Amino acid sequence: MPTVRYVTVDVFTDKRFTGNPLAVIFDAQDLSDADMQNIAKEFNYSEVTFVLPPQDPANSARVRILTPTTEVPFAGHPNVGTAYVLGQQAELFGKPVGETLHFEEKAGLVEVTLKRENGKVVAAAIRAPRALEIGETVDTQTIAACASIEAGSIVTSNHAPIYASVGLAFVFAELDGLQALGNAGPNLTAFQQAVRKYPGEGLGLPLFLYVRDPSRPWHFRARMFAPLDNVPEDPATGSASAALAAYLVETDKDLAADGTTAITIEQGVEMGRHSVIELEVTKRAGKITDVLIGGSCALVMRGEVNC
């Protein structure tokens, strides 16, 4: 029966017990799929990562990402947190840990850049592994029912609620203010009905709600609900933030066809786990060519898991 080491880290924050918690499981090659799913369910975090030797020795590691109920192809905070944890080591699978890591994942190859201060890793930034994909729109009544809010608080002047992805699909909806955002909460029955109405676009119709800061148009507050994936609310969702940022930059007609836009998304405030996600979105000839997702991390716990 294998025993594996783990570290937990809070991601998109520099303070312990805020941000989004993540468990990183080392040397997971002897674990079965069932072992991994049981460990993820036991931690009950939004995601747990499992680090395995890379299939291509030119890369740093193979990383599998599991929620309490399933494996996902890509997610933001697990990559940032895993890179931060592995960056504390001198070596990874017999190779020195440099300034850039390459993770093999189901969504593709994920590149991660480490940020150091006084020689110590304090943050990480990743590149989204896939180009922006835009899916179908979702009616406002469905969004309102899922989020337990009035349909009139959903802003549609910029875009209708819509699926978008840079590796993992989410539904995005803009709200008209912080009061509506604060009043929101997941309605499990409505989500169950909605996923039957909109099948196939995403895992359990994960819903990302956001509000623009009137004085800073590229500074947002957000919340994410995915109750069908056993995540009633997520304190920081890097993959959703990246997809939203890419979608808004590509579709904003006031932005130049070429350039880079910096975006800040705060999340987890209503949960008491304030998170800050920093993004840079590059557009060339009107199309998104690069999305960087970055943030700080804080180590919390170390231990072992007996399978």
Residue 204 main-chain phi, psi, to 5 deg: 70, 20
The one-character DSSP state at 140 is H
Task: State the CB neighbour count (10 A cutoff) for residue 11.
Answer: 30
Q: Cα 49 vs. chain centroid, distance in angstroms?
A: 13
User: Of the listed 42, 47, 71, 250, which one is catalytic?
Assistant: 47
CA–CA gap between residue 62 and residue 56 (Å, rounded): 9
Please report where in the chains the tokens 């604060």 appear, as a residue: 182
Tally of CA atoms within 13 A in the half-sphere of 264 that contains its CB: 8
CA–CA gap between residue 63 and residue 74 (Å, rounded): 10
- Strand duo 48-52 + 20-25: pairing: parallel
CA–CA gap between residue 20 and residue 236 (Å, rounded): 5
Contact yes or no for 4/307 (Cβ under 8 A): yes
Residue 280 designated active-site: no
CA–CA gap between residue 46 and residue 167 (Å, rounded): 17
Contact yes or no for 264/276 (Cβ under 8 A): yes
Please report where in the chains the tokens 């697990």 appear, as a residue: 78
Active site residues per annotation: 47
